[in-house]
Structure 1
Amino acid sequence: MTEHTQKLIVVTGASTGLGASTARELARRGFHVLAGVRRDSDADAVRSTGVEPVILDITRPEQVEALAARVADDPRELHALVNNAGIQVNGPVEALPMSQWRWVFEVNLFGHVAVTRALLPALLRSRGRVINISSIGGRVAMATYGAYAGAKFALEAVSDSLRREVAPLGVQVVVVEPGGVRTEMATRGIATANELAALMTPEQDERYGDLVRATNALMASGTASGLTADAAALVVAKAATTRRPRTRYTVGRDAALIIRLARMLSDRTLDRIVTANLRRHYPRATTA
Protein backbone atom coordinates (compact mmCIF):
# COMPACT_ATOMS: atom_id res chain seq x y z
CA MET A 1 0.00 0.00 0.00
CA THR A 2 2.66 2.53 0.98
CA GLU A 3 4.47 2.22 -2.36
CA HIS A 4 1.55 3.84 -4.20
CA THR A 5 0.08 6.15 -1.56
CA GLN A 6 1.48 9.32 -3.09
CA LYS A 7 0.53 8.53 -6.67
CA LEU A 8 -2.51 9.46 -8.78
CA ILE A 9 -4.37 7.39 -11.35
CA VAL A 10 -7.11 8.77 -13.59
CA VAL A 11 -9.90 6.37 -14.61
CA THR A 12 -12.44 7.66 -17.13
CA GLY A 13 -15.95 6.23 -17.40
CA ALA A 14 -15.92 5.26 -13.72
CA SER A 15 -19.62 5.66 -12.92
CA THR A 16 -20.42 1.95 -13.13
CA GLY A 17 -19.14 -1.37 -14.41
CA LEU A 18 -15.50 -1.93 -15.27
CA GLY A 19 -14.51 1.68 -14.60
CA ALA A 20 -16.01 1.76 -11.12
CA SER A 21 -14.53 -1.63 -10.26
CA THR A 22 -11.11 -0.57 -11.54
CA ALA A 23 -11.21 2.64 -9.50
CA ARG A 24 -12.03 0.70 -6.34
CA GLU A 25 -9.34 -1.93 -6.98
CA LEU A 26 -6.63 0.66 -7.63
CA ALA A 27 -7.66 2.60 -4.51
CA ARG A 28 -7.42 -0.64 -2.52
CA ARG A 29 -3.85 -0.94 -3.76
CA GLY A 30 -2.99 2.47 -2.35
CA PHE A 31 -3.44 4.86 -5.27
CA HIS A 32 -5.48 8.04 -5.12
CA VAL A 33 -7.91 7.60 -8.00
CA LEU A 34 -9.53 10.47 -9.86
CA ALA A 35 -12.67 8.74 -11.12
CA GLY A 36 -14.31 10.39 -14.11
CA VAL A 37 -18.11 10.49 -13.91
CA ARG A 38 -20.68 12.46 -15.86
CA ARG A 39 -23.25 13.29 -13.16
CA ASP A 40 -23.29 14.37 -9.52
CA SER A 41 -25.42 11.34 -8.63
CA ASP A 42 -22.73 9.08 -10.10
CA ALA A 43 -20.11 10.95 -8.08
CA ASP A 44 -21.98 10.21 -4.84
CA ALA A 45 -22.19 6.52 -5.75
CA VAL A 46 -18.50 6.05 -6.59
CA ARG A 47 -16.95 8.23 -3.86
CA SER A 48 -15.04 6.17 -1.29
CA THR A 49 -11.68 5.98 0.47
CA GLY A 50 -9.04 6.68 -2.16
CA VAL A 51 -11.60 7.36 -4.91
CA GLU A 52 -12.25 11.02 -5.71
CA PRO A 53 -14.96 11.57 -8.34
CA VAL A 54 -14.42 14.30 -10.93
CA ILE A 55 -17.08 15.42 -13.37
CA LEU A 56 -15.79 14.39 -16.78
CA ASP A 57 -17.46 13.98 -20.13
CA ILE A 58 -14.51 13.16 -22.38
CA THR A 59 -16.26 14.75 -25.37
CA ARG A 60 -16.37 18.18 -23.66
CA PRO A 61 -13.07 20.08 -24.03
CA GLU A 62 -13.66 22.30 -20.99
CA GLN A 63 -14.06 19.27 -18.72
CA VAL A 64 -10.95 17.62 -20.15
CA GLU A 65 -9.04 20.85 -19.53
CA ALA A 66 -10.37 21.01 -15.96
CA LEU A 67 -9.12 17.46 -15.36
CA ALA A 68 -5.66 18.36 -16.66
CA ALA A 69 -5.59 21.40 -14.36
CA ARG A 70 -6.64 19.24 -11.39
CA VAL A 71 -3.77 16.84 -12.09
CA ALA A 72 -1.26 19.65 -12.65
CA ASP A 73 -2.18 21.29 -9.33
CA ASP A 74 -1.73 18.07 -7.35
CA PRO A 75 1.71 17.52 -5.80
CA ARG A 76 1.40 13.77 -6.33
CA GLU A 77 2.73 12.33 -9.57
CA LEU A 78 0.37 10.82 -12.14
CA HIS A 79 1.14 7.13 -12.35
CA ALA A 80 -1.38 6.15 -15.04
CA LEU A 81 -4.35 7.12 -17.17
CA VAL A 82 -6.98 4.43 -17.71
CA ASN A 83 -9.05 5.36 -20.77
CA ASN A 84 -12.17 3.34 -20.03
CA ALA A 85 -15.13 5.56 -20.99
CA GLY A 86 -17.16 4.19 -23.87
CA ILE A 87 -20.50 3.39 -25.44
CA GLN A 88 -21.73 0.47 -27.50
CA VAL A 89 -23.90 1.20 -30.53
CA ASN A 90 -24.53 -1.64 -33.00
CA GLY A 91 -26.29 -1.72 -36.33
CA PRO A 92 -25.78 -2.78 -39.95
CA VAL A 93 -23.53 -0.48 -41.94
CA GLU A 94 -26.37 0.40 -44.32
CA ALA A 95 -28.91 1.11 -41.60
CA LEU A 96 -26.92 2.83 -38.85
CA PRO A 97 -27.41 6.63 -39.13
CA MET A 98 -24.29 8.68 -39.79
CA SER A 99 -24.95 10.67 -36.61
CA GLN A 100 -24.52 7.45 -34.66
CA TRP A 101 -21.31 6.58 -36.50
CA ARG A 102 -19.87 9.97 -35.61
CA TRP A 103 -20.98 9.77 -31.98
CA VAL A 104 -19.44 6.32 -31.47
CA PHE A 105 -16.10 7.56 -32.79
CA GLU A 106 -16.36 10.77 -30.77
CA VAL A 107 -16.73 8.85 -27.51
CA ASN A 108 -14.75 5.67 -28.18
CA LEU A 109 -11.81 7.23 -30.00
CA PHE A 110 -11.55 11.02 -30.14
CA GLY A 111 -12.46 11.48 -26.47
CA HIS A 112 -9.65 9.14 -25.45
CA VAL A 113 -7.21 10.96 -27.68
CA ALA A 114 -8.27 14.28 -26.12
CA VAL A 115 -7.75 13.06 -22.55
CA THR A 116 -4.45 11.39 -23.42
CA ARG A 117 -3.11 14.54 -25.07
CA ALA A 118 -4.16 16.65 -22.08
CA LEU A 119 -2.45 14.38 -19.54
CA LEU A 120 0.66 13.40 -21.49
CA PRO A 121 2.78 16.24 -20.05
CA ALA A 122 2.12 14.89 -16.53
CA LEU A 123 2.75 11.30 -17.65
CA LEU A 124 6.00 12.29 -19.33
CA ARG A 125 7.18 13.93 -16.12
CA SER A 126 6.35 10.85 -14.05
CA ARG A 127 7.32 8.28 -16.70
CA GLY A 128 3.87 6.84 -16.22
CA ARG A 129 1.63 4.78 -18.46
CA VAL A 130 -1.53 4.90 -20.57
CA ILE A 131 -3.99 2.00 -20.32
CA ASN A 132 -6.47 1.96 -23.21
CA ILE A 133 -9.52 -0.23 -22.70
CA SER A 134 -10.25 -1.65 -26.12
CA SER A 135 -12.32 -4.80 -26.76
CA ILE A 136 -12.20 -8.13 -28.51
CA GLY A 137 -14.09 -6.03 -31.06
CA GLY A 138 -10.84 -4.16 -31.63
CA ARG A 139 -9.35 -7.33 -33.13
CA VAL A 140 -12.35 -9.11 -34.74
CA ALA A 141 -15.35 -7.22 -36.14
CA MET A 142 -18.66 -9.09 -35.93
CA ALA A 143 -21.68 -8.32 -38.10
CA THR A 144 -23.52 -5.15 -36.95
CA TYR A 145 -20.42 -4.09 -34.96
CA GLY A 146 -19.04 -1.87 -37.73
CA ALA A 147 -19.11 1.43 -35.83
CA TYR A 148 -18.10 0.03 -32.43
CA ALA A 149 -15.39 -2.26 -33.80
CA GLY A 150 -14.21 0.45 -36.19
CA ALA A 151 -13.58 2.82 -33.29
CA LYS A 152 -11.89 0.07 -31.26
CA PHE A 153 -9.68 -0.98 -34.20
CA ALA A 154 -8.70 2.67 -34.50
CA LEU A 155 -7.97 2.88 -30.77
CA GLU A 156 -5.67 -0.12 -31.09
CA ALA A 157 -3.82 1.60 -33.96
CA VAL A 158 -3.51 4.85 -32.03
CA SER A 159 -2.20 2.87 -29.06
CA ASP A 160 0.47 1.22 -31.21
CA SER A 161 1.53 4.56 -32.66
CA LEU A 162 1.58 6.28 -29.27
CA ARG A 163 3.55 3.42 -27.71
CA ARG A 164 6.28 3.79 -30.31
CA GLU A 165 6.34 7.56 -29.87
CA VAL A 166 6.62 7.70 -26.09
CA ALA A 167 8.48 4.49 -25.19
CA PRO A 168 11.84 6.25 -25.70
CA LEU A 169 10.57 8.93 -23.29
CA GLY A 170 9.77 6.43 -20.55
CA VAL A 171 5.98 6.22 -20.92
CA GLN A 172 4.38 2.80 -21.39
CA VAL A 173 1.19 2.23 -23.40
CA VAL A 174 -0.92 -0.86 -22.75
CA VAL A 175 -4.11 -2.12 -24.42
CA VAL A 176 -6.66 -4.20 -22.50
CA GLU A 177 -9.07 -6.26 -24.63
CA PRO A 178 -12.10 -7.55 -22.71
CA GLY A 179 -14.48 -10.17 -24.04
CA GLY A 180 -17.83 -10.66 -22.34
CA VAL A 181 -18.07 -8.69 -19.09
CA ARG A 182 -21.25 -8.35 -17.07
CA THR A 183 -21.68 -4.57 -17.12
CA GLU A 184 -24.43 -2.05 -17.67
CA MET A 185 -22.77 -0.91 -20.92
CA ALA A 186 -23.55 -4.24 -22.58
CA THR A 187 -27.17 -4.09 -21.41
CA ARG A 188 -27.50 -0.52 -22.66
CA GLY A 189 -25.89 -1.54 -25.96
CA ILE A 190 -28.55 -4.18 -26.58
CA ALA A 191 -31.33 -1.70 -25.78
CA THR A 192 -29.80 0.88 -28.12
CA ALA A 193 -29.44 -1.69 -30.91
CA ASN A 194 -33.12 -2.58 -30.57
CA GLU A 195 -34.13 1.08 -30.65
CA LEU A 196 -32.08 1.69 -33.79
CA ALA A 197 -33.39 -1.48 -35.42
CA ALA A 198 -36.94 -0.17 -34.96
CA LEU A 199 -35.98 2.80 -37.18
CA MET A 200 -34.89 0.68 -40.13
CA THR A 201 -36.90 0.87 -43.31
CA PRO A 202 -39.06 -2.16 -44.18
CA GLU A 203 -36.50 -3.13 -46.82
CA GLN A 204 -33.65 -2.88 -44.34
CA ASP A 205 -35.60 -4.85 -41.76
CA GLU A 206 -36.15 -7.60 -44.31
CA ARG A 207 -32.43 -7.71 -45.06
CA TYR A 208 -31.05 -7.31 -41.55
CA GLY A 209 -33.82 -7.68 -38.97
CA ASP A 210 -33.12 -11.30 -38.07
CA LEU A 211 -29.38 -10.65 -38.09
CA VAL A 212 -29.76 -7.81 -35.58
CA ARG A 213 -31.98 -9.92 -33.32
CA ALA A 214 -29.57 -12.85 -33.48
CA THR A 215 -26.57 -10.64 -32.76
CA ASN A 216 -28.34 -9.10 -29.76
CA ALA A 217 -29.21 -12.56 -28.44
CA LEU A 218 -25.60 -13.67 -28.85
CA MET A 219 -24.37 -10.53 -27.10
CA ALA A 220 -26.78 -11.10 -24.21
CA SER A 221 -25.64 -14.70 -23.90
CA GLY A 222 -21.95 -13.77 -23.98
CA THR A 223 -22.45 -11.03 -21.42
CA ALA A 224 -24.40 -13.27 -19.04
CA SER A 225 -21.65 -15.90 -19.10
CA GLY A 226 -18.81 -13.37 -18.97
CA LEU A 227 -16.59 -12.20 -16.16
CA THR A 228 -17.80 -9.90 -13.43
CA ALA A 229 -16.60 -6.32 -13.58
CA ASP A 230 -14.57 -6.91 -10.41
CA ALA A 231 -12.75 -9.87 -12.00
CA ALA A 232 -12.03 -7.88 -15.16
CA ALA A 233 -10.75 -4.98 -13.07
CA LEU A 234 -8.00 -7.20 -11.69
CA VAL A 235 -6.54 -7.44 -15.21
CA VAL A 236 -6.67 -3.67 -15.66
CA ALA A 237 -5.01 -3.19 -12.27
CA LYS A 238 -2.30 -5.65 -13.27
CA ALA A 239 -1.68 -3.69 -16.47
CA ALA A 240 -1.45 -0.49 -14.41
CA THR A 241 0.90 -1.80 -11.74
CA THR A 242 3.13 -4.50 -13.24
CA ARG A 243 6.65 -3.16 -13.55
CA ARG A 244 7.09 -4.38 -17.14
CA PRO A 245 3.57 -4.78 -18.55
CA ARG A 246 2.78 -6.54 -21.79
CA THR A 247 1.60 -4.35 -24.65
CA ARG A 248 -1.77 -6.19 -24.66
CA TYR A 249 -3.87 -8.10 -22.16
CA THR A 250 -7.01 -10.06 -22.98
CA VAL A 251 -9.80 -10.34 -20.41
CA GLY A 252 -11.72 -13.61 -20.36
CA ARG A 253 -11.31 -16.94 -22.11
CA ASP A 254 -13.66 -15.91 -24.93
CA ALA A 255 -11.40 -12.99 -25.87
CA ALA A 256 -8.27 -15.15 -25.78
CA LEU A 257 -9.92 -17.85 -27.91
CA ILE A 258 -11.25 -15.49 -30.58
CA ILE A 259 -7.91 -13.73 -30.94
CA ARG A 260 -6.13 -17.09 -31.23
CA LEU A 261 -8.55 -18.24 -33.93
CA ALA A 262 -8.19 -14.97 -35.82
CA ARG A 263 -4.43 -15.45 -35.91
CA MET A 264 -4.61 -19.08 -37.07
CA LEU A 265 -7.48 -19.11 -39.55
CA SER A 266 -8.19 -17.47 -42.87
CA ASP A 267 -10.86 -14.79 -43.05
CA ARG A 268 -13.27 -17.12 -44.87
CA THR A 269 -12.82 -19.91 -42.34
CA LEU A 270 -13.34 -17.52 -39.46
CA ASP A 271 -16.45 -16.17 -41.22
CA ARG A 272 -17.90 -19.70 -41.37
CA ILE A 273 -17.24 -20.30 -37.68
CA VAL A 274 -18.75 -16.97 -36.66
CA THR A 275 -21.80 -17.56 -38.87
CA ALA A 276 -22.35 -21.04 -37.48
CA ASN A 277 -22.16 -19.72 -33.94
CA LEU A 278 -24.62 -16.93 -34.74
CA ARG A 279 -27.07 -19.21 -36.60
CA ARG A 280 -28.44 -20.81 -33.43
CA HIS A 281 -29.52 -17.38 -32.16
CA TYR A 282 -31.72 -16.55 -35.16
CA PRO A 283 -35.36 -16.08 -34.14
CA ARG A 284 -36.58 -18.40 -36.91
CA ALA A 285 -35.21 -21.04 -39.24
CA THR A 286 -33.74 -18.58 -41.76
CA THR A 287 -29.98 -18.09 -41.91
CA ALA A 288 -29.93 -15.02 -44.13
Structure 2
Amino acid sequence: MNAIDSSTPSELVVVTGASTGIGRATARRLAADGFHVLAGVRTEAAAAEVKAEHVEPVLLDITDERQVAALADRVRGDRRPLRAVVNNAGIAVNAPIEALPLAEWRRQFDVTVFGQVAVIQALMPALLRSKGRVVNIGSTGGKVAMPAFGAYSGAKFAMEAVSDSLRREVEPFGVSVAVIVPGAVRTRLTERGGATSARLAEAMTPEQCTRYAGLMKAFRATTESWGTHGLDAAVVADAVSRAVHARKPRTRYTVGRDAAVMTRLTHLVPDRLLDRMVRRTMGL
Protein backbone atom coordinates (compact mmCIF):
# COMPACT_ATOMS: atom_id res chain seq x y z
CA MET A 1 0.00 0.00 0.00
CA ASN A 2 1.24 3.49 -0.80
CA ALA A 3 2.47 5.76 1.99
CA ILE A 4 -0.23 7.91 3.55
CA ASP A 5 0.29 11.64 3.02
CA SER A 6 -0.39 14.23 5.71
CA SER A 7 -3.82 15.11 4.28
CA THR A 8 -5.09 11.54 4.61
CA PRO A 9 -6.88 10.44 7.82
CA SER A 10 -4.54 8.45 10.01
CA GLU A 11 -7.17 6.10 11.51
CA LEU A 12 -9.98 3.89 10.20
CA VAL A 13 -13.53 3.55 11.49
CA VAL A 14 -16.03 0.91 10.33
CA VAL A 15 -19.74 1.78 10.33
CA THR A 16 -22.25 -0.95 9.43
CA GLY A 17 -25.71 -0.22 8.09
CA ALA A 18 -24.55 3.07 6.60
CA SER A 19 -26.98 3.30 3.68
CA THR A 20 -29.45 5.56 5.49
CA GLY A 21 -30.44 7.04 8.83
CA ILE A 22 -28.17 6.74 11.84
CA GLY A 23 -25.50 4.82 9.93
CA ARG A 24 -25.18 7.36 7.13
CA ALA A 25 -25.24 10.30 9.54
CA THR A 26 -22.56 8.61 11.65
CA ALA A 27 -20.33 7.91 8.63
CA ARG A 28 -20.53 11.55 7.57
CA ARG A 29 -19.90 12.85 11.08
CA LEU A 30 -16.86 10.63 11.67
CA ALA A 31 -15.43 11.53 8.26
CA ALA A 32 -15.82 15.22 9.19
CA ASP A 33 -14.07 14.40 12.47
CA GLY A 34 -11.03 13.30 10.51
CA PHE A 35 -11.37 9.52 10.19
CA HIS A 36 -11.39 7.38 7.07
CA VAL A 37 -14.75 5.63 7.27
CA LEU A 38 -15.45 2.22 5.78
CA ALA A 39 -19.22 2.50 5.37
CA GLY A 40 -21.05 -0.80 5.08
CA VAL A 41 -23.88 -0.79 2.52
CA ARG A 42 -25.81 -3.61 0.88
CA THR A 43 -26.16 -2.38 -2.73
CA GLU A 44 -24.12 -0.65 -5.40
CA ALA A 45 -26.79 2.06 -5.60
CA ALA A 46 -26.41 2.79 -1.89
CA ALA A 47 -22.63 2.80 -2.29
CA ALA A 48 -22.88 5.51 -4.95
CA GLU A 49 -25.07 7.63 -2.65
CA VAL A 50 -22.88 7.23 0.42
CA LYS A 51 -19.47 7.74 -1.22
CA ALA A 52 -17.89 11.03 -0.16
CA GLU A 53 -14.59 12.48 0.93
CA HIS A 54 -13.08 10.05 3.46
CA VAL A 55 -16.21 7.85 3.27
CA GLU A 56 -15.41 4.63 1.43
CA PRO A 57 -18.46 2.42 0.85
CA VAL A 58 -17.97 -1.33 1.17
CA LEU A 59 -20.54 -3.94 0.22
CA LEU A 60 -21.51 -5.55 3.51
CA ASP A 61 -24.40 -7.81 4.40
CA ILE A 62 -23.45 -8.68 7.97
CA THR A 63 -25.22 -12.05 7.66
CA ASP A 64 -22.95 -12.99 4.73
CA GLU A 65 -19.77 -14.64 6.06
CA ARG A 66 -17.84 -13.93 2.87
CA GLN A 67 -18.59 -10.22 2.95
CA VAL A 68 -17.69 -9.98 6.64
CA ALA A 69 -14.40 -11.78 5.88
CA ALA A 70 -13.75 -9.39 2.99
CA LEU A 71 -14.24 -6.44 5.35
CA ALA A 72 -11.70 -7.93 7.76
CA ASP A 73 -9.25 -8.38 4.86
CA ARG A 74 -9.76 -4.74 3.84
CA VAL A 75 -8.98 -3.56 7.37
CA ARG A 76 -6.02 -5.90 7.75
CA GLY A 77 -4.53 -4.68 4.46
CA ASP A 78 -4.58 -1.03 5.55
CA ARG A 79 -1.62 0.41 7.43
CA ARG A 80 -3.88 2.73 9.42
CA PRO A 81 -5.07 1.50 12.83
CA LEU A 82 -8.74 0.70 13.38
CA ARG A 83 -10.06 3.25 15.86
CA ALA A 84 -13.63 1.95 16.16
CA VAL A 85 -16.31 -0.40 14.88
CA VAL A 86 -19.81 1.09 14.97
CA ASN A 87 -22.41 -1.70 14.84
CA ASN A 88 -25.52 -0.03 13.46
CA ALA A 89 -26.94 -2.50 10.92
CA GLY A 90 -30.33 -3.84 11.95
CA ILE A 91 -33.94 -4.55 11.05
CA ALA A 92 -37.26 -4.24 12.87
CA VAL A 93 -39.64 -7.21 12.82
CA ASN A 94 -42.74 -6.31 14.82
CA ALA A 95 -45.89 -8.31 15.48
CA PRO A 96 -47.63 -9.97 18.45
CA ILE A 97 -45.53 -12.88 19.69
CA GLU A 98 -48.32 -15.41 19.11
CA ALA A 99 -48.59 -14.40 15.46
CA LEU A 100 -44.93 -13.97 14.53
CA PRO A 101 -43.53 -16.94 12.54
CA LEU A 102 -40.32 -18.46 13.86
CA ALA A 103 -38.61 -17.69 10.55
CA GLU A 104 -39.14 -13.99 11.26
CA TRP A 105 -37.75 -14.38 14.78
CA ARG A 106 -34.65 -15.99 13.28
CA ARG A 107 -34.30 -13.22 10.69
CA GLN A 108 -34.48 -10.55 13.42
CA PHE A 109 -31.80 -12.22 15.52
CA ASP A 110 -29.66 -13.16 12.52
CA VAL A 111 -29.19 -9.51 11.63
CA THR A 112 -29.44 -7.71 14.95
CA VAL A 113 -27.45 -10.17 17.07
CA PHE A 114 -25.54 -12.82 15.12
CA GLY A 115 -24.51 -10.50 12.30
CA GLN A 116 -23.19 -7.92 14.74
CA VAL A 117 -21.30 -10.58 16.68
CA ALA A 118 -19.79 -11.79 13.39
CA VAL A 119 -18.47 -8.29 12.66
CA ILE A 120 -17.05 -7.97 16.19
CA GLN A 121 -15.30 -11.34 15.94
CA ALA A 122 -13.85 -10.58 12.51
CA LEU A 123 -12.47 -7.18 13.50
CA MET A 124 -11.42 -7.89 17.09
CA PRO A 125 -7.81 -8.74 16.13
CA ALA A 126 -7.45 -5.28 14.55
CA LEU A 127 -9.10 -3.62 17.54
CA LEU A 128 -6.78 -5.43 19.94
CA ARG A 129 -3.75 -4.25 17.97
CA SER A 130 -4.92 -0.63 17.98
CA LYS A 131 -6.60 -0.66 21.40
CA GLY A 132 -9.71 0.59 19.64
CA ARG A 133 -13.35 0.43 20.62
CA VAL A 134 -16.70 -1.14 19.78
CA VAL A 135 -19.74 1.14 19.66
CA ASN A 136 -23.04 -0.74 19.48
CA ILE A 137 -26.19 1.14 18.52
CA GLY A 138 -28.83 0.02 20.99
CA SER A 139 -32.38 1.22 21.59
CA THR A 140 -34.87 1.94 24.33
CA GLY A 141 -36.35 -1.30 22.98
CA GLY A 142 -33.40 -2.96 24.67
CA LYS A 143 -34.56 -1.50 28.00
CA VAL A 144 -38.38 -1.67 27.77
CA ALA A 145 -40.24 -4.24 25.65
CA MET A 146 -43.49 -2.73 24.37
CA PRO A 147 -46.30 -4.94 23.07
CA ALA A 148 -45.74 -6.01 19.43
CA PHE A 149 -42.00 -5.35 19.83
CA GLY A 150 -41.10 -8.75 21.29
CA ALA A 151 -38.67 -9.94 18.59
CA TYR A 152 -37.01 -6.54 18.12
CA SER A 153 -36.68 -5.93 21.85
CA GLY A 154 -35.50 -9.50 22.41
CA ALA A 155 -32.64 -8.91 19.98
CA LYS A 156 -31.80 -5.51 21.49
CA PHE A 157 -31.88 -6.92 25.03
CA ALA A 158 -29.54 -9.66 23.81
CA MET A 159 -27.09 -7.09 22.45
CA GLU A 160 -27.14 -5.29 25.79
CA ALA A 161 -25.93 -8.53 27.38
CA VAL A 162 -23.39 -9.15 24.61
CA SER A 163 -22.05 -5.61 25.06
CA ASP A 164 -21.69 -6.03 28.82
CA SER A 165 -19.96 -9.39 28.49
CA LEU A 166 -17.67 -8.17 25.71
CA ARG A 167 -16.69 -5.08 27.70
CA ARG A 168 -15.69 -7.20 30.68
CA GLU A 169 -13.69 -9.52 28.45
CA VAL A 170 -11.68 -7.04 26.37
CA GLU A 171 -11.25 -3.89 28.45
CA PRO A 172 -8.27 -5.47 30.26
CA PHE A 173 -6.60 -5.56 26.81
CA GLY A 174 -7.31 -1.90 26.04
CA VAL A 175 -10.49 -2.27 23.93
CA SER A 176 -13.47 -0.20 25.08
CA VAL A 177 -17.13 -1.08 24.50
CA ALA A 178 -19.93 1.48 24.53
CA VAL A 179 -23.66 1.30 23.78
CA ILE A 180 -25.61 4.21 22.30
CA VAL A 181 -29.24 4.14 23.52
CA PRO A 182 -31.39 6.47 21.40
CA GLY A 183 -35.07 7.10 21.87
CA ALA A 184 -37.37 7.65 18.90
CA VAL A 185 -35.43 8.64 15.77
CA ARG A 186 -36.67 9.62 12.32
CA THR A 187 -35.15 6.90 10.13
CA ARG A 188 -35.98 4.58 7.25
CA LEU A 189 -35.79 1.68 9.71
CA THR A 190 -39.10 2.81 11.20
CA GLU A 191 -40.70 2.98 7.75
CA ARG A 192 -39.39 -0.43 6.74
CA GLY A 193 -40.46 -1.87 10.10
CA GLY A 194 -43.97 -0.53 9.55
CA ALA A 195 -44.14 -2.16 6.12
CA THR A 196 -42.93 -5.46 7.58
CA SER A 197 -45.52 -5.24 10.36
CA ALA A 198 -48.30 -4.65 7.83
CA ARG A 199 -47.18 -7.71 5.85
CA LEU A 200 -47.13 -9.84 8.96
CA ALA A 201 -50.56 -8.59 10.04
CA GLU A 202 -52.02 -9.72 6.72
CA ALA A 203 -50.81 -13.26 7.46
CA MET A 204 -52.58 -13.50 10.83
CA THR A 205 -55.48 -15.87 11.30
CA PRO A 206 -58.94 -14.29 11.54
CA GLU A 207 -58.95 -14.94 15.30
CA GLN A 208 -55.57 -13.26 15.70
CA CYS A 209 -56.69 -10.30 13.60
CA THR A 210 -59.66 -9.82 15.91
CA ARG A 211 -57.61 -10.31 19.07
CA TYR A 212 -54.84 -7.89 18.12
CA ALA A 213 -56.66 -5.30 16.00
CA GLY A 214 -56.43 -2.64 18.72
CA LEU A 215 -52.77 -3.39 19.40
CA MET A 216 -51.75 -3.16 15.74
CA LYS A 217 -53.61 0.13 15.34
CA ALA A 218 -51.79 1.50 18.39
CA PHE A 219 -48.49 0.16 17.06
CA ARG A 220 -48.95 1.97 13.74
CA ALA A 221 -49.87 5.23 15.47
CA THR A 222 -46.85 4.96 17.76
CA THR A 223 -44.31 4.31 15.01
CA GLU A 224 -45.82 6.98 12.75
CA SER A 225 -45.41 9.52 15.55
CA TRP A 226 -41.71 8.71 15.64
CA GLY A 227 -41.46 9.76 12.02
CA THR A 228 -42.91 13.15 12.96
CA HIS A 229 -41.52 13.81 16.42
CA GLY A 230 -38.40 11.62 16.57
CA LEU A 231 -34.84 12.90 16.84
CA ASP A 232 -32.78 13.67 13.77
CA ALA A 233 -30.23 10.93 13.11
CA ALA A 234 -27.45 13.53 13.34
CA VAL A 235 -28.10 13.83 17.09
CA VAL A 236 -27.30 10.13 17.50
CA ALA A 237 -24.23 10.54 15.29
CA ASP A 238 -23.02 13.24 17.70
CA ALA A 239 -23.21 10.74 20.57
CA VAL A 240 -21.29 8.16 18.54
CA SER A 241 -18.62 10.78 17.84
CA ARG A 242 -18.25 11.44 21.57
CA ALA A 243 -17.90 7.71 22.25
CA VAL A 244 -15.26 7.35 19.54
CA HIS A 245 -13.24 10.38 20.66
CA ALA A 246 -13.44 10.00 24.45
CA ARG A 247 -10.21 8.93 26.13
CA LYS A 248 -12.30 6.67 28.36
CA PRO A 249 -15.78 6.32 26.84
CA ARG A 250 -18.82 5.78 29.01
CA THR A 251 -20.40 2.33 28.89
CA ARG A 252 -23.69 3.85 27.68
CA TYR A 253 -24.82 7.09 26.07
CA THR A 254 -28.54 7.81 26.32
CA VAL A 255 -29.83 10.05 23.52
CA GLY A 256 -33.16 11.87 23.80
CA ARG A 257 -35.49 12.71 26.65
CA ASP A 258 -37.75 9.70 26.02
CA ALA A 259 -34.78 7.34 26.23
CA ALA A 260 -33.61 8.93 29.47
CA VAL A 261 -37.08 8.68 31.04
CA MET A 262 -37.79 5.11 29.96
CA THR A 263 -34.34 3.88 31.00
CA ARG A 264 -34.73 5.42 34.43
CA LEU A 265 -38.26 4.09 34.90
CA THR A 266 -37.10 0.49 34.52
CA HIS A 267 -35.09 0.91 37.73
CA LEU A 268 -37.70 2.85 39.69
CA VAL A 269 -41.13 1.53 38.77
CA PRO A 270 -42.64 -1.91 39.58
CA ASP A 271 -43.39 -4.10 36.57
CA ARG A 272 -47.19 -3.87 36.80
CA LEU A 273 -47.11 -0.09 36.98
CA LEU A 274 -44.67 0.06 34.07
CA ASP A 275 -47.02 -2.21 32.10
CA ARG A 276 -49.84 0.29 32.57
CA MET A 277 -47.61 3.22 31.69
CA VAL A 278 -46.43 1.54 28.48
CA ARG A 279 -49.96 0.68 27.41
CA ARG A 280 -51.11 4.23 28.16
CA THR A 281 -48.20 5.63 26.14
CA MET A 282 -49.30 3.52 23.16
CA GLY A 283 -52.92 4.55 23.59
CA LEU A 284 -54.11 1.08 24.58
User: Is TM > 0.5 for Structure 1 vs Structure 2?
Assistant: yes
C-alpha distance after superposition, 1:120-161 (max 9, x if no partner): 000000000000111100011000111000000000000000
The range that moved more, 208-217 or 36-45, is 208-217
Unaligned runs of 5+ in 2: 1-5
The range that moved more, 112-121 or 243-252, is 243-252
* Equivalent of residue 26 in structure 1, options 27, 30, 53: 30
CA-CA distance at 1:232 after TM superposition: 1.6
* Equivalent of residue 12 in structure 1, options 10, 16, 22: 16
Distance, in Å, in 2 between the alignment partners of 1:275 and 1:54 is 41
Is residue 158 of structure 2 the alignment partner of residue 154 of structure 1?
A: yes
Q: Within 5 A, what are the aligned runs for 1:178-189?
A: 178-189=182-193
* Equivalent of residue 37 in structure 1, options 35, 41, 55: 41
Distance, in Å, in 1 between the alignment partners of 2:89 and 2:35 is 20
* Equivalent of residue 211 in structure 1, options 209, 215, 222: 215
Distance, in Å, in 2 between the alignment partners of 1:20 and 1:128 is 21
* Equivalent of residue 93 in structure 2, options 89, 112, 129: 89
What's the counterpart of residue 262 of structure 2? 258
Match of 1:94, SS? helix
Distance, in Å, in 1 between the alignment partners of 2:44 and 2:7 is 31
Distance, in Å, in 2 between the alignment partners of 1:143 and 1:3 is 51
Q: Is the 8 A contact 2:9 2:54 kept in 1?
A: no
Q: Within 5 A, what are the aligned runs for 1:95-174?
A: 95-174=99-178
CA-CA distance at 1:3 after TM superposition: 11
CA-CA distance at 1:222 after TM superposition: 2.7
Match of 1:10, SS? strand
What's the counterpart of residue 193 of structure 1? 197
Match of 2:85, SS? strand
CA-CA distance at 1:178 after TM superposition: 1.2
Is residue 55 of structure 2 the alignment partner of residue 54 of structure 1?
A: no
CA-CA distance at 1:277 after TM superposition: 1.9
* Equivalent of residue 181 in structure 2, options 165, 169, 177: 177
Letter in 1 for 2:259: A
What's the counterpart of residue 221 of structure 1? 225
Q: Within 5 A, what are the aligned runs for 1:223-242?
A: 223-242=227-246
Q: Is the 8 A contact 1:124 1:169 kept in 2?
A: yes
Distance, in Å, in 1 between the alignment partners of 2:243 and 2:46 is 25
Letter in 1 for 2:236: A
C-alpha distance after superposition, 1:235-268 (max 9, x if no partner): 1111111111110011111111111111110000
Distance, in Å, in 1 between the alignment partners of 2:220 and 2:248 is 38
Structure 1 residue ranges, 4+ long, deviating more than 2 angstroms after superposition = 2-5
C-alpha distance after superposition, 1:214-244 (max 9, x if no partner): 1121121133211111122111111111111
Distance, in Å, in 1 between the alignment partners of 2:282 and 2:134 is 35
Distance, in Å, in 2 between the alignment partners of 1:3 and 1:205 is 59
What is the percentage of aligned positions where both structures have the same residue?
Answer: 57
Distance, in Å, in 1 between the alignment partners of 2:9 and 2:44 is 26
Letter in 1 for 2:84: A
Distance, in Å, in 2 between the alignment partners of 1:31 and 1:138 is 29
Q: Is the 8 A contact 1:80 1:129 kept in 2?
A: yes
* Aligned length in residues: 279
Letter in 2 for 1:50: H
What's the counterpart of residue 3 of structure 2? none
Match of 1:274, SS? helix
Q: Is the 8 A contact 2:89 2:111 kept in 1?
A: yes
Distance, in Å, in 2 between the alignment partners of 1:4 and 1:170 is 25
